[in-house]
Amino acid sequence: MPSLYNVLRPNETLNYRFRNITTENYPGFYHYHRGIEILIVHRGSGNLVLNRSMYPIESGSILFFQPFQLHRLHFDVAENAPYERTILTFEPATFEPFFRGLPSASRFFGHMWKDDLPSQLFRMGSDTSYIDAVLERSHRKLTDLEEEDSMEWAGLMILQIMDYLHSLHDSSPIQGSPRAERHAEKIMQWIEKHYTEPFELDELAKALHLSKHHISHLFRSETGSTITEYLIARRIRQACLLLKLEHLSVEQVGSRVGIPNFAYFCRLFKKITGLTPKQYRSDHQ
């Protein structure tokens, strides 16, 4: 069963994890957040699956994820090659007032929050001193302050990080020639068109003119996960959106996303999100 969850729970406005280090196997998992996630990679190399595309990740990368964006990170980790990151997840509406009175910063924050983004991966280069100082000072403050005061400091930290991303955005226009599309991306694009239908690996293999074994091996080697894990993640992601936005019964939602067995859909949904479909709908209305 895939490991997939919603990191930011309904009543949580801020989740800050400073310089987490992993030295053992890090296969990654498909997941999403109710709020915005900003992930700063201090050490490590791997890849990101986002919007049915793959991107190489390295030390000095900053990743920006919009609310409810399904994504997956896979890192090659060893004792002498750890994966070290700082993760900030927050509810954007809560911190939007901190940007008032700053027109340029406010526009950029709104753009990153709500618009279609051509790029969500920023590279700092070798000089990470500014962002390191912001994170370290914020960590000390958020550890020592009371909750009421910590929210004010968290707002200042988010403002500083967004201003830094704005500077990277303005100084690093998108350049380069189109790259060759990977097999995993073609597979994800096929799933995007067919995830509401009964899944047949034969049909996918036939569409890509590859054998079933080869296509499964390629997807795992490129993303670190199985095709089934990605398919389930995509279906549950869509189920969450339908429960939040549509007036459909839970059984209808399951059928719409390709899981017509009502009992199985409910069990799978709770295992992945931690909530029953009815609880999820109630929490998000």
pLDDT along the chain (285 residues), means of 10: 36 79 80 85 91 88 87 86 92 91 93 88 91 92 72 91 91 44 79 91 93 90 83 89 90 96 94 88 81
| Percent of all residues in the chain with a pLDDT value above 90, rounded to a whole number | 49
Residue 2 is assigned to a structural domain of this protein: no
Q: Are 142 and 25 part of one and the same domain?
A: yes
Do residues 161 and 217 both lie within one domain?
no
Q: Are residues 144 and 76 in the same domain?
A: yes
279 and 190 assigned to the same domain:
yes
Record the pTM: 0.67
Count the domains in the chain: 2
State residue 145's pLDDT score: 65
The reply to whether 194 falls in a domain is: yes
Q: What is residue 8's predicted lDDT score, i.e. its pLDDT? A: 37
Q: 221: Cβ–Cβ under 8 A, 6 or more apart, which residues?
A: none
Note whether 55 and 133 are same-domain residues.
Answer: yes
Pair 35, 153 in one domain = yes
Q: Which domain holds residue 222?
A: 183-284
Within a domain: residue 114?
Answer: yes
